[in-house]
Amino acid sequence: MSRLVNVIIKVPIELKKRMKEVNINWSEYLRGVIEAKVREELAKKASRRLEEIQSRVKEIPTEEIVK
């Protein structure tokens, strides 16, 4: 695994108490959730970029592409 850095979040004290009651590795869980969200957003960004490129390609006449 690559080098890790600290990311701090704030939660209400009541939630923190309840978090301690369950046996979950919160760091591991949150890393996974954050990684999944980043992948999702990057995929959306790539999709938007692809659509933008496709819309421009439609504007180029076939004769121009053949040249």
Spell out the per-residue pLDDT of the chain, length 67, in tens: 689 999 999 999 999 999 999 999 999 999 999 999 999 999 999 999 999 888 877 777 778 778 7
Contact 19, 11 (CB under 8 A): yes
| Residue 25 pLDDT | 97
DSSP 29-57: HHHHHHHHHHHHHHHHHHHHHHHHHHHHH
Contacts of 11 (CB under 8 A, 6+ apart): 19
Phi, psi of 53 (to 5 degrees): -65, -45
| Residue 22 pLDDT | 97
| Residue 48 pLDDT | 94
| Rounded Cα–Cα distance for residues 30 and 33 (Å) | 5
